[in-house]
Amino acid sequence: MSEKRKFQAIKGTRDLLPPDTELWNRVEQTARQVFTTYGFGEIRPPIFEPTELFARSIGLDTDVVSKEMYTFADRDETSVSLRPEATASVCRAYIEHGMHALPQPVRLFYTGPMFRRERPQKGRYRQFYQIGAEIIEALQQGQGGSKDIPKDAAIDAELLEMLMAFFARLELHSVQLEINSIGDRNCRPKYVELLRAELLKVKDQLGQDSQRRIDTNPLRVLDSKLESEQAIIATLPRISDHLCADCAAHYAELKRQLDLRGVTYKENWRLVRGLDYYMRTTFEITAQGLGSQNAVCGGGRYDGLVELLGGQPAKGIGFAIGEDRLILSLQEAGKADVPKGRDVYIAWMGATAQATAIRIAKVLRENGFRVELPPVEQKFGKTLGQADKLGSRYALILGEDEIASGQWTLKTLADGSQTKFTEPQLLDFLRG
């Protein structure tokens, strides 16, 4: 006899089940509704791509590319990876489909699974879900430079306005938007060198991770949550004091635009992003009730990324919401109510009642009600117990008497009260 093996979902992955999936659907539906009103269309890129696409865009020195990707050789030996994020795919698609020829900017959103080999914990999974959006704009002849700043900043601000409108629509009010500017290729390298020099002076007082990052990615030291490093980090030079004139003007205009739109935000000079391609505007949104995994959204501007991936020069900005964490946060905030159980359980007995039960079940379902119709006849006592267990709101009782008189009995399960209705009266009552 062959041994029975019990299979389990792979570590860091999980099944999303009802009734939670109702909430997931509501969140995605809300994103679709809100984003559509801001002119976004949906893109569904594949979940695996050439490894090179991620390596080039996200950067080789990032944790994501250096150790978190699921990478394998395809049959023809090309290296492919499960996507750790989707911005690179959206840019690849923008180039591949010649979207620079469409009216600019192009606004796209996506939802779907991402994959990163991280240590699983609350709010951190190896397969997780993101809802994201990107605004990409090919540079036209004569465009670019300082005169674009008001337009770029307005695009950034509108994207953030939309993001906050989405959270508001979900009634998640505990979210906090933090913004920063991390400069561009003119000013950031000089700041990074200054930061590196200052960090070297205090190297002995830093933890191992930060010591390593002095070499590989000094900006990431600012991100450190290590208690012993906080006092030192507070004394480090701030990028806001070292932005070039254009970056400073862009950041100032972004803040003015956010004020104009009534979007509240907090400035956080230590906010840097883990992916290489960001410049100028960066932001993060945190929510309550998530412990240390409290970032529900991250994003920023990535002018130059499309070109880096082989396209015409273009600007871009986008965000990715961590849907798993958003769901947790909604549940913590008590905003996770979804319809459960059934609206109507049809308790029928007898052959003539069955025909009526089948017919009325169909009518009710056509009207959008969630209906449970027992497949075989059951004693009323048993069937009403079943209706209760399923969390039904009403039981519609159809016995020989009800069929004969045309007066059906509707029982409200919460208080046990009963009312008689004819069929048209019943439909009117249920439709409210």
Q: At its nearest, how many Å lie between ligand ATP and the CB of residue 298?
A: 3
Residue 260's closest CA among 150, 168, 354, 355?
Answer: 150
Residue showing tokens 């907090």: 266
- C-alpha span between 282 and 272 (Å, rounded): 7
325 binds ligand ATP (CB under 6 A): yes
Q: At its nearest, how many Å lie between ligand ATP and the CB of residue 293?
A: 6
Q: At its nearest, how many Å lie between ligand ATP and the CB of residue 295?
A: 4
Q: At its nearest, how many Å lie between ligand ATP and the CB of residue 22?
A: 20
Q: Which tokens hold the place of 235? A: 């004394």
Point out which span in 75-83, 87-95, 133-141, 320-328 binds ligand ATP (CB under 6 A). Answer: 320-328
Half-sphere exposure of residue 214, counting CA atoms within 13 Å on the CB side? 19
Q: Which tokens hold the place of 73? A: 């050789």
342 binds ligand ATP (CB under 6 A): no
- Asked if omega into 19 is within 30° of 0 (cis), the reply is yes
Which lies closer to ligand ATP via its Cβ, residue 57 or residue 392? 57
- Which residue intervals of 223-277 are DSSP H helices? 230-234, 245-260
Which lies closer to ligand ATP via its Cβ, residue 56 or residue 411? 56
324 binds ligand ATP (CB under 6 A): yes
Task: For residue 146, report the phi and psi dihedrals to the nearest 5 degrees.
Answer: -60, -30
Point out which span in 28-36, 43-51, 100-108, 292-300 binds ligand ATP (CB under 6 A). Answer: 292-300
Tell me if 22 sits within 8 A of 37, measured CB to CB. no
Which lies closer to ligand ATP via its Cβ, residue 112 or residue 313? 112
Contacts with ligand ATP: how many residues (CB under 6 A)? 18
- C-alpha span between 183 and 191 (Å, rounded): 9
Tell me if 326 sits within 8 A of 298, measured CB to CB. no
210 sits in which H/E element: helix 208-216
293 binds ligand ATP (CB under 6 A): yes
Point out which span in 149-157, 237-245, 262-270, 289-297 binds ligand ATP (CB under 6 A). Answer: 289-297
Which lies closer to ligand ATP via its Cβ, residue 283 or residue 394? 283
Q: Which residue is nearest to ligand ATP (CB)?
A: 322
Q: At its nearest, how many Å lie between ligand ATP and the CB of residue 261?
A: 22
331 binds ligand ATP (CB under 6 A): no
CB count in 10 Å sphere of residue 285: 25
Per DSSP, 390 falls in state: T
Q: Which tokens hold the place of 96? A: 């591949």
Dihedral over Cα of 424, 427, 430, 432: its sign: negative
Residue 305's closest CA among 92, 144, 51, 154?
Answer: 92
The residue from 277, 322, 336, 398 that contacts ligand ATP (CB under 6 A) is 322
- C-alpha span between 27 and 47 (Å, rounded): 21
Residues 157-216, interacting with ligand ATP (CB under 6 A): none
Per DSSP, 111 falls in state: E
- C-alpha span between 327 and 24 (Å, rounded): 7
105 binds ligand ATP (CB under 6 A): no
Which lies closer to ligand ATP via its Cβ, residue 268 or residue 352? 268
Residue 402's closest CA among 392, 410, 413?
Answer: 410
401 sits in which H/E element: helix 400-405
Q: At its nearest, how many Å lie between ligand ATP and the CB of residue 125?
A: 4
Q: Which tokens hold the place of 367? A: 């009207």
Site string for ligand ATP, 54-93 (x = CB under 6 A): -------------------------------x--------
274 binds ligand ATP (CB under 6 A): yes
Site string for ligand ATP, 234-273 (x = CB under 6 A): ----------------------------------------
Question: What's the length of the chain?
Answer: 432
295 binds ligand ATP (CB under 6 A): yes
Site string for ligand ATP, 116-135 (x = CB under 6 A): x-x----xxx--x-x-----
Q: At its nearest, how many Å lie between ligand ATP and the CB of residue 138?
A: 25
The residues that touch ligand ATP, with contacts defined as CB under 6 A, are: 85, 116, 118, 123-125, 128, 130, 274, 293, 295-298, 320, 322, 324-325
